[in-house]
Structure 1
């Protein structure tokens, strides 16, 4: 509940201290006296968006302070706790505005952001005025109003989470399906490449072996003749035979030489062993040089195939086998991607079914809330002299979204048999005010501790209808607090507390002041509202009649 509002150096207000009370508080005054400035100042300290230039001309800084009483279970306490701000029975909001445009906010003497102010304001004050009318008249906002009335927030939050997950899965599946064609092309290439490498079955070091074998076979005919001649020279008909003959001769005379030939015989014996080894190597070489005529062609084909495949894959021939393994791993990854797509497609179907189920449940809850709201509004219209009017909340299918599959619109018919239509097109000015008052009453019925502000809710109505509007506002204020800016004497007379907003010009400076009125002053103010500038005895009598109910 709003207790005090202190304004310093804002627009045409230099200093203003207001003490509000429970019940119906009315503010009256001539058009242009500055009633809207009070609401702007209150909106400023609550963090609402408003005009940029607020500081009074000649002042360095403007300031607004608002003091609220918080009941034990007031929702503002939760906002304060979440923001790490002091939680007390009294909430003091203070906000300054420098001439440089810089704004600073304080909550219980602690610095706070504009976002925190706005969160608090949603729990403290509900404004019904021209800006608010546009909200109630905008069908795009009607679903939010219905959801608030039906307390459907938890269902909507759960559905919003499902929608987020569903949207993410849809993007994932769409991206995977778009990439499928490229993946299929790559998979075909990989399979072909892997088949090529597998068919060739390359070995590490095979290129060097084949190259050496090929060069040997290419030179075999040329070097084979020389190696054969060398074998003949060293064989039994050559050096080997000569050495054997020489050794026999020397062994025959060795004893007669008294051991002087032992060294020669030992050397020849070693030479025979080395000669045997050399001869064996030569024979091995000659055997290696013996190959089938097609062997060279086969070696060359194998070598050229290895090198060609290596060039194709831009790797060394020795790396072909490892490259084949890499390609196989890449293919397995792509095949796993296809499995992931199948899994995501299955998960998408599950998410769509879950969203559809929760959206249907939310639609049913909205239909039930709509029936309750329609009955509540109809109950409010009768005291406002609109018992024959009809109000209906219509729910139609809409594109699926984070808040369901419903479009909501408030429709009215002002007379029996007349077609129903949107609020803004069907209702006249006075009817529209009463429809909006009835709606506002219903939508804020369970807002504990909320101060309701109505800015000229009675415009376009008079006489008995204005009296009915005033009585409904007084009844609404009975358990809490309502502030009304009004030009209607019938509404003003029903207020529990009354202030007059005045504008004065002193020394060329315009100032706005707000004066609390005594009973006699209220009589004169209501008489002015009835008669104009010249207050007659008849106007005072009528004012007293209104005040006496």
Structure 2
């Protein structure tokens, strides 16, 4: 149930706070006073699309906030858990903020939610039935959805099982279709990857190899420079006439003679002595390196060829040997996972046939459940139509088999006859506007008992009817109010009189601006308003007595 509604800077409403109760509440007032604007505000709380046109002229933003009783359906509790919204017995606060820039923010119990999720929540809170919404009955493609909404929990479980199987079937069917359509391009890719795998694999790259090869090439290309440098150094230290080693050896012997005289002399002597032996080691190593040196031009060619191969692979597959090896592992895994053989397609098609058989079985089960449910709906609607002075009407749900869809393989259309002896014909072809409205009202009466909606809003659904039919519509909306809170915008005095509460909406001009005001009417004020609805501008004593009579009859 909608407990409270707060509106700020919305259309011609500057600021408005309304409290609602259970039962049936009528909203009346002159045309253009803002009755439908209030319903538009409630629609926003149920997830309707917003527009900057809603923002009151001269304002930067508008706000709509509603406090609802907490829905009791298990599905609602699951949804709240999924969205991470905390709830308590105090109720559910839904808020929409709309900025002049077009930005809209939706909050539920203080948590920001997307518009799509707000719609999911809104379906548990309020059902808004506009004066043109009966057109839904004029589109046979909507009849299946209307029928299914009559289903109880066991039926919804059957439908969910079918939909899960349908989704699984469609996923596999798309996979098979894609497999067939793209098989050639996939084969081409496999050929390319196979070539790349072979090219990299034959190269047999190893981490750090490039750096070692570059170092080796540096030595090979600088062979003469290395030989000259080592030879000169060796000659300088071993020359018989100017041998550096002999000179340092003589110096070492001379320093040893004074080493015992002073600690500093001893240190100098030790250092020179060490240098002598280090030079001996260096001369031996230089000699060894000279013996090892050999210009191997063939090896230089091999090193250059290897480095060129690595350079080419880097241009194709990555900036380094490590990157190339990672790419090799990646394509190797892809090739390992790929299976485009005929066996693979045959296996997929076999699996698809199994899923199709299961889908057929579940679809037949769903159809049977629908037909059983349709019989109950037919009986319930005919009972409601009698109360709406269509006692001769016969209503039937016709089934036709179609292709598989998310909702089964059923096509459903409502048939009706309103005259005795006349055959059943499609509702969209034979029913008048008033009859369509009454059929929709019959559906809403039934659904209010089965769907557990907290609020149902009727926006001038009684347009175009009068007399006893108007009274019957009033009775039905009142009956709906016993199961769900019913808010009804009406111009019919019979409907207004039947309400438990009546809100009067009027507009006034203040400081050159139009404002909407709402007030709950007392018993005497209700009499005056219903008299106005009966007579228009000129209210007579007889009109007032008629209004009193309507209210008294409604109480009975």
Aligned to 2:404: 400
Q: Is the 8 A contact 1:503 1:511 kept in 2?
A: yes
Give the Cα–Cα distance (whole angstroms) in 2 for the partners of residues 380 and 132 of structure 1: 19
Aligned to 1:124: 125
Give the Cα–Cα distance (whole angstroms) in 2 for the partners of residues 436 and 457 of structure 1: 9
Which residue of 431, 434, 456 corresponds with 1:427? 431
Aligned to 2:447: 443
Q: Is the 8 A contact 1:498 1:517 kept in 2?
A: yes
Give the SS at the match of 1:53. helix
Q: Is the 8 A contact 1:2 1:20 kept in 2?
A: yes
| Structure 1 residue runs of 4 or more that deviate by more than 6 Å after TM superposition | 178-184, 332-336
Shift of 1:43: 1.1
Give the Cα–Cα distance (whole angstroms) in 2 for the partners of residues 479 and 347 of structure 1: 48
Aligned to 1:348: 352
Distance 1:181 1:477, change over 3 A: closer
Q: Is the 8 A contact 1:81 1:87 kept in 2?
A: no
Shift of 1:483: 0.5
Aligned to 1:33: 33
Aligned to 1:453: 457
Distance 1:71 1:362, change over 3 A: closer
Aligned to 1:411: 415
Distance 1:180 1:544, change over 3 A: closer
Task: Give CA-to-partner distance per residue, 1:245-283, whole Å, 9 cap, x none.
Answer: xxxxxxxxxxxxxxxxxxxxxxxxxxxxxxxxxxxxxxx
TM-score, normalization by structure 2: 0.68
Distance 1:32 1:425, change over 3 A: farther
Aligned pairs (5 A) from 1:156-235: 156-174=159-177
Distance 1:354 1:34, change over 3 A: same
Shift of 1:347: 1.8
Q: Is the 8 A contact 1:26 1:498 kept in 2?
A: yes
Task: Give CA-to-partner distance per residue, 1:68-123, whole Å, 9 cap, x none.
Answer: 12255575443322211121121111211112121122222232322232111100
Unmatched tracts of structure 2, length 5 or more? 188-335
Q: Is the 8 A contact 1:183 1:334 kept in 2?
A: no
Which residue of 479, 485, 500 corresponds with 2:489? 485
Aligned to 2:321: none
Give the Cα–Cα distance (whole angstroms) in 2 for the partners of residues 415 and 113 of structure 1: 49
Give the SS at the match of 2:507. strand
Aligned to 1:19: 19
Give the Cα–Cα distance (whole angstroms) in 1 for the partners of residues 486 and 182 of structure 2: 61
Shift of 1:490: 0.5
Distance 1:361 1:537, change over 3 A: same
Aligned pairs (5 A) from 1:329-368: 337-368=341-372
Task: Give CA-to-partner distance per residue, 1:197-241, whole Å, 9 cap, x none.
Answer: xxxxxxxxxxxxxxxxxxxxxxxxxxxxxxxxxxxxxxxxxxxxx
Q: Is the 8 A contact 2:531 2:539 kept in 1?
A: yes
Aligned to 1:285: none
Give the Cα–Cα distance (whole angstroms) in 1 for the partners of residues 59 and 180 of structure 2: 65
Number of aligned residue pairs: 404
Give the Cα–Cα distance (whole angstroms) in 2 for the partners of residues 128 and 66 of structure 1: 18
Give the Cα–Cα distance (whole angstroms) in 2 for the partners of residues 104 and 335 of structure 1: 49
Give the Cα–Cα distance (whole angstroms) in 1 for the partners of residues 457 and 426 of structure 2: 25
Shift of 1:487: 0.8
Which residue of 391, 397, 401 corresponds with 2:395? 391
Distance 1:531 1:420, change over 3 A: same
Give the Cα–Cα distance (whole angstroms) in 1 for the partners of residues 490 and 186 of structure 2: 71
Q: Is the 8 A contact 2:50 2:104 kept in 1?
A: no
Aligned to 1:88: 88
Task: Give CA-to-partner distance per residue, 1:282-306, whole Å, 9 cap, x none.
Answer: xxxxxxxxxxxxxxxxxxxxxxxxx
Shift of 1:372: 0.9
Give the Cα–Cα distance (whole angstroms) in 2 for the partners of residues 46 and 180 of structure 1: 47
Distance 1:176 1:16, change over 3 A: closer
Aligned to 2:243: none
Distance 1:18 1:333, change over 3 A: closer
Q: Does 1:512 align with 2:516?
A: yes
Give the SS at the match of 2:53. coil
Give the SS at the match of 1:57. coil
Unmatched tracts of structure 1, length 5 or more? 185-331
Aligned to 2:115: 114
Give the SS at the match of 1:159. helix
**CA RMSD of the aligned region, Å?**
2.7
Aligned to 1:251: none
Q: Is the 8 A contact 1:433 1:460 kept in 2?
A: no
Give the Cα–Cα distance (whole angstroms) in 2 for the partners of residues 454 and 354 of structure 1: 43
Which deviates more from structure 2 when the two are superposed, residues 471-480 or residues 161-170? 161-170
Aligned to 1:540: 544
Task: Give CA-to-partner distance per residue, 1:357-397, whole Å, 9 cap, x none.
Answer: 11111111111111111111011111111111121111111
Which residue of 525, 528, 543 corresponds with 1:524? 528
